[in-house]
Structure 1
Amino acid sequence: MTSSTKITIAVSARALFDFEDENQVFREDDPSAYCALQAARLDIPASPGVAFPLVRKLLAFNNGESNDVEVAILSRNDPVTGLRVFASAHHHGLAISRAIFTGGAKPHRYLAPLEASLFLSAHGPDVKDAMIAGFPAALVYPAPGVRATQDDGELRIAFDGDSVLFSDEAERVSIQRQLQEFNAHEARHARSPLPPGPPKPFFSALCALRGQRRSRVPVRTALVTARSAPAHERAIRRLMAWRVAVDEAMFLGGTDKACFLAEFMPDIFFDDHVRNCESASQLVATGHVPYGINNEYRTILH
């Protein structure tokens, strides 16, 4: 992954556009019906998908003097379906010029040459492959209940803390030693650094772009975490050590996050808990980050 402040987002076609209707006829062992349906709709622009508002606002960072953000489509679709994807992007005014359509092959191997900062997909196995390969990735929930974010020009992104912005070090303590000992542990280690989680480089690059003030796009970020006092201090001090900041911090003590996220209305919310993602995705665009101890347990149980 690139270490510069430029952000390159790789996004699947189904995350960017609403292909849920077409996906009803998809069969992995025989995608011919799906491909035929997409070919019959080449002249019909696809409606925006869950990741569309995020992509639109990220592209708005670019101006005539600089191109700080690039979006590339990385999709399992066949090249013919790719015609509809490109046409849909043009119809909606998205300045996307690069795309890779793998015709069913695993797409994650192209993340390195793309120098991707983040991969968003609606296909779980592709997200896991990307994470194993060392690239930040999230499974986008194409939930029909998501409320459209306001087209107010402000980019809003919310992050969970442990196992997302931060590593799962503290999360392991919470699961293995229970809440009371977790709070005591975090209070004792308030000034000890937390290692970064997978989306942290994307978050840092976003903060750097905002700090350069070369774009008219206002950015608002939020930390939305199950932590509560006294465990709050370590999280804030870690952000301070990274010299980055969130605009809002919500220490919810295990309360369901969905209603709070509905007020913040992020263009996307990242969390490692499937339970949290399923709840939040009914109200806001949500990406599951399959990282950390919670997802290890899920793999064992499933």
Structure 2
Amino acid sequence: MMPTLEGKLVVALSSRALFDFEEENRVFEQTDDRAYMRLQFDRLDTPAKPGVAFPLVQKLLAFNTPEQQRVEVVILSRNDPVSGLRVLRSTKAHGLAIERCVFTRGRSPFGYLRSLHAHLFLSMNEADVRDALNAGFPAARVYAESARVAVAHPQEIRIAFDGDAVLFSDEAERVFQANGLDAFQAHEAERYATPLPPGPFKPLLEALHRMKRAGEGETVEPAPPMRLRTALVTARSAPAHERAIRTLLDWGLEVDEAMFLGGLEKSAFLQEFEPDFFFDDQTRHCDAAARVVPTGHVAAGVIND
């Protein structure tokens, strides 16, 4: 039978999101791709250090068992194929079961997301992230300076999402930017029963929801399966909270926790939730969040126009 990715959660990410290649990348920026390629080849037998997305990938792959392959992680990288040798040597050295990869030597790789039917793309290249988002794929720019926290909750993966322009469209955010908080609150109160249009990360939440529901119906011995916990972390407050909750109900989706912070700084709440990754569309929130948790900037919506 021909291999297929159908029914799996497919996560694609760049090699710099997975491994700490910042030193090597400086060589690339200061010289050229051939010097970078030589350096990576010279370090072929030296496993790269884990990068920002490494713990997330490690946990995602732990959903797989010999009986059931639920997650596929694919490296989608601007690296050249020779440098890709070190990437794959490093995945093997760290025990990451990653088999599929695409190396494009400088050309934007986002076009291959369609062939992969990817549910998420993580990269440190903002142009690639914007291209992916414009093509309809959930994508985020990984903050290289994100906190490298110790892995918490080893049998549970936690993912936190902002609301407007991430899970939901930026419809309400546009009202806020144009007319202020009072207009935003009135707009949302009037439309409390009208579902918000979907944002760029709805497909990822849908895929996570399906995986969670499938896992709840299974029993695996001797080790229990990985668990999944999600959170909505938004600057919304009452009465604008109701439209967000009703929208998720209308979609048939759930989050485990919802934080309506009314403009409070998110980082303290994220530090308490301890997500393996947090996604937000505003760089000011990402800058603060990255000091405490792995963070991805979603360059979508009116804030990022």
TM-score bracket, shorter-length normalisation: over 0.9
**1:192 Cα shift?**
0.3
Matches within 5 A, 1:245-284: 245-284=254-293
Q: What secondary structure does 1:73 align onto?
A: strand
Show structure 2 runs of 5+ residues with no match. none
Q: SS at the partner of 2:29?
A: coil
- Shift of residue 28 of structure 1? 8.1
Is the contact between residue 5 and residue 208 of structure 1 (CA under 8 Å) also seen in structure 2? no
* Range with bigger deviation, 73-82 or 4-13: 4-13
Q: 1: CA distance between counterparts of 2:280 and 2:249?
A: 21
Matched, 1:106 2:108: yes
CA distance in 1: counterparts of 2:56 and 2:167, whole angstroms: 18
Superposed counterparts of 1:37-56, under 5 Å: 37-56=39-58
SS in 1 for 2:263: coil
Q: CA deviation at 1:240?
A: 1.0
Q: 3-state SS of the aligned residue for 2:200?
A: coil
Shift, 1:139, TM fit: 0.3
Distance 1:162 1:242 in 2: 15
Length-normalised TM-score, structure 2: 0.93
1:192-233 Cα shifts (integer Å, max 9, x gaps): 010111111111110111111247111111000000011101
Separation (CA, whole Å) in 2 of partners of 1:28 and 1:159: 36
Shift of 1:267: 0.7
Partner of 1:295: 304
Give 2:192's aligned residue.
190
Q: Distance in 2 between matches of 1:161 and 1:149?
A: 25
2:97 to 87, 95, 98: 95
1:3-50: CA deviation from partner (whole Å, max 9, x where unpaired): 965211111000001111211212287222222211111100011111
Task: Look up the equivalent residue of 1:164 and give its one-letter code.
Answer: V
Tell me the alpha carbon deviations over residues 76-102 of structure 1, each in whole angstroms, 9 at most, x when there is no partner: 111111111111111111110000111
Q: Give the SS at the match of 1:47.
A: coil
Structure 1 moving runs of 4+ over 4 Å: 2-5
* TM-score of the aligned structures, taking structure 1 as reference length: 0.94
In structure 2, distance between residues paired with 1:149 and 1:234: 34
Task: Give the secondary-structure state (helix, strand or coil) at the position aligned to 1:26.
Answer: helix
Matched pairs, number: 295
Equivalent of 2:129, from 121, 127, 130?
Answer: 127
**Cα displacement (A) at 1:133:** 2.0
- The structural deviation recorded for 1:242 is 1.3
The unaligned stretches of length 5 or more in structure 1 are 297-302
1:104 Cα deviation (Å)?
Answer: 1.0
